[in-house]
């Protein structure tokens, strides 16, 4: 029988032994018995934190340093300008060979966060704390500075606390999470819009070259344009056309055209009584031997081999 390794659950009064390089002189502070909140600098983190679970929430920002952090089933290489989220009961671990780490990490209980909130399920509903969600936000320099300022305000308020501090800290923490949630939704919408724009461009490009293929159905010869000519018709650069089509389809613009050309050639070879040379000329090839080489590269068989196998 394989012995399963026990993964400990770290509580607010015990996690410091794992998350601090040295024994902490400042005790963990609970603002009330069940409304836990704490904020510290990341420079106290050791280079290795073994697999564990937390019984509270954690958010940390990285302004210096890097390493491998696991969040549930996913492993991330965390570096500067990262905002990260750990939910209760999520298996987490940390490894780095770089000793110097900078940033902040805030830990808090659900009851602290939701006090006074109308939506008591906010933490469970946002994608950051879901098992298959977005545990890491990659930030720009400007975004990093924005979130860092919130952490700094919380840090100052926490270490100079008074009777008003719990409400102030809660408001700052809620601001941080609402801002991060809004940022993620905006990025998803932008990516979605970008994907739609890419699909529209692919559709427009296909419409252009298929228009030229329609000449075959009218008994005319095929006169395909260069990719650059199609890009000009679409009012974009050839590079932009190729890049977008590659992202959406996994193929280049030229590959799409060659695939369509090969399909037409195959239909002609199967159903037309024309000779291979006549088919080559109809498809715009000036030299039947070049058509034969093209077809074999695309299909693995020469036109004559294909016809022989389909008689």
Q: Domains in the chain, please, with CATH? A: 9-161 (2.60.120.10), 193-309 (1.10.10.60)
Report whether pLDDT(4) > 50: no
Report whether pLDDT(100) > 80: yes
For 4-28, what is the mean pLDDT?
77
In tens, the pLDDT along 180-228 reads 998 887 776 555 555 677 888 888 888 888 888 777 666 677 888 889 9
Report whether pLDDT(66) > 80: yes
**What would the two tokens of residue 266 be?**
């195959």
In tens, the pLDDT along 231-247 reads 999 999 988 888 888 87
The pLDDT assigned to 86 comes to: 93
Determine if the pTM surpasses 0.75.
no
In tens, the pLDDT along 17-28 reads 999 988 765 544
The pLDDT assigned to 208 comes to: 87
Mean pLDDT of the chain: 85
The phi and psi torsions of 196 (rounded to 5 degrees) equal -65, -40
Q: Of the ranges 32-36, 112-116, 209-213, which one carries the lowest mean pLDDT score?
A: 32-36
Q: Could you tell me which residue, 271 or 209, shows the higher pLDDT? A: 209
Report percent pLDDT > 90 for the chain. 42
Q: Could you tell me which residue, 105 or 286, shows the higher pLDDT? A: 105
Contacts of residue 259, Cβ cutoff 8 Å, sequence gap at least 6:
251, 298
């Amino acid at each position: 029988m394989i012995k399963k390794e026990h993964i400990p659950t770290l509580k607010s009064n015990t996690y410091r032994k794992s998350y601090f390089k040295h024994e902490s002189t400042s005790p963990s502070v609970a603002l009330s018995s069940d409304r836990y909140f704490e904020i510290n600098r990341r420079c106290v983190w050791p280079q290795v934190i073994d697999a564990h679970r937390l019984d509270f929430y954690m958010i940390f920002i990285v302004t210096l340093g890097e390493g491998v952090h696991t969040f549930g089933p996913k492993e991330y290489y965390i570096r500067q300008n990262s905002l990260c989220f750990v939910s209760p009961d999520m298996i987490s671990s940390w490894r780095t060979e770089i000793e110097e780490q900078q940033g902040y990490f805030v830990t808090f209980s659900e009851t602290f966060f939701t006090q006074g909130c109308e939506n008591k399920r906010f933490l469970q509903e946002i994608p950051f704390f879901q098992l298959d969600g977005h545990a890491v936000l990659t930030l720009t320099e400007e975004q990093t500075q924005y979130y860092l300022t919130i952490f700094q305000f919380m840090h100052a308020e926490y270490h100079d606390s008074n009777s008003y501090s719990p409400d102030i800290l809660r408001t700052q923490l809620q601001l941080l999470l609402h801002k991060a949630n809004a940022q993620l939704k905006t990025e998803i919408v932008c990516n979605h819009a970008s994907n739609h724009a890419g699909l529209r461009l692919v559709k427009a490009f296909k419409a252009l070259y298929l228009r030229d293929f329609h000449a075959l159905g009218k008994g005319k010869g095929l006169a395909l344009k260069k990719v650059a000519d199609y890009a000009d018709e679409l009012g974009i650069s050839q590079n932009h056309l190729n890049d977008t089509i590659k992202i959406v389809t996994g193929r280049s613009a030229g590959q799409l055209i060659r695939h369509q050309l090969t399909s037409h050639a195959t239909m002609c070879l199967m159903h037309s009584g024309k000779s291979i040379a006549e088919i080559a000329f109809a498809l715009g090839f000036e030299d039947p031997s070049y058509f034969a080489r093209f077809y074999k590269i695309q299909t693995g068989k020469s036109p004559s081999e294909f016809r022989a196998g389909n008689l």
